[in-house]
Amino acid sequence: MMAEESVALSKDLEGSETSTPETPTVKVLEELLNTGRPSCNHADEVWPNLFIGDLAVAHNKEELRKHGITHILNAAHNACGSKGNQAFYGKEFCYHGIAADDFPDFDLSIYFRSASEYIHKALSVPNGKILVHCILGKSRSATLVLAYLMMHHNLSLAAAVERVLQSRAIFPNRGFLKQLQDLELKLRHKRKLCQLQ
């Protein structure tokens, strides 16, 4: 990679090139994330009937029953140590898996729509409750929940982050924050187009 490309990529990850007055930079988002709760449980309800959790709770069917979970969204499907699949959960829980890596260069945004639709569908079922998890419940799963809140509840990225931080410590990696920035810009553009029509 040439020096100019490296500098450009670094600036882009900081969010300076895609930042607008309405969309905070990655650095500002990271500062906001650092103001969150110092710790979290194995599962925390971050929106009505929507939980973010870790692998420990995802593998504990008794805990899932205690929380009333009906649906599972595993953002670490096929990851080392993850037992998650429909066969593991049987007929008691509905399962959806996304084989995502927690690396800044992994394109998680290609799953934003399908994950958001799955969450929305789960919450539309009478008494539906969903656990969105990855390994630690801080990056991949949190990113998908933030995308859902932005897409289905029209929250800004900053407002979605602040809402989740009220209940759980999260910290999406820099690449995922950049993808959420891009999502916010697309959603804002789409809303503007709709207003013009």
What CA–CA distance (Å, rounded) separates 174 from 153? 23
Tell me the per-residue pLDDT of 149-190, one tens digit each, with 9 for 90 and over.
999 999 999 999 999 999 999 999 999 999 999 999 999 988
Question: Helix or strand or coil: residue 111?
Answer: helix
Instruction: Please name the amino acid found at residue 97.
Output: G
pLDDT at 190: 87
Residue 28, burial from CB neighbour count under 10 angstroms (0-12, 13-18, 19+): middle
Do the beta carbons of residue 67 and residue 89 sit within 8 Å? no
- Residue 2, pLDDT above cutoff 60: no
Tell me the per-residue pLDDT of 113-137, one tens digit each, with 9 for 90 and over.
999 999 999 999 999 999 999 999 9
Tell me the per-residue pLDDT of 44-77, one tens digit each, with 9 for 90 and over.
999 999 999 999 999 999 999 999 999 999 999 9
What CA–CA distance (Å, rounded) separates 80 from 146? 24
**What domains appear along the chain, each with residue ranges and CATH number?**
38-196 (3.90.190.10)
Q: How far apart, in Å, are the Cα atoms of 88 and each of 44, 71, 85, 91, 152?
A: 22, 13, 5, 9, 29
The single residue of 80, 94, 134, 194 carrying the catalytic annotation is 134
| Active site annotation includes 80 | no
Query: Given pLDDT bands bounded at 50, 70 and 90, which one contains residue 16?
Result: very low
What CA–CA distance (Å, rounded) separates 26 from 15? 5
What CA–CA distance (Å, rounded) separates 107 from 173? 12
Q: How far is CA 58 from the centre of its chain?
A: 16
**14-18, 85-89, 127-131, 190-194: which has the highest mean pLDDT?**
127-131
pLDDT at 84: 76
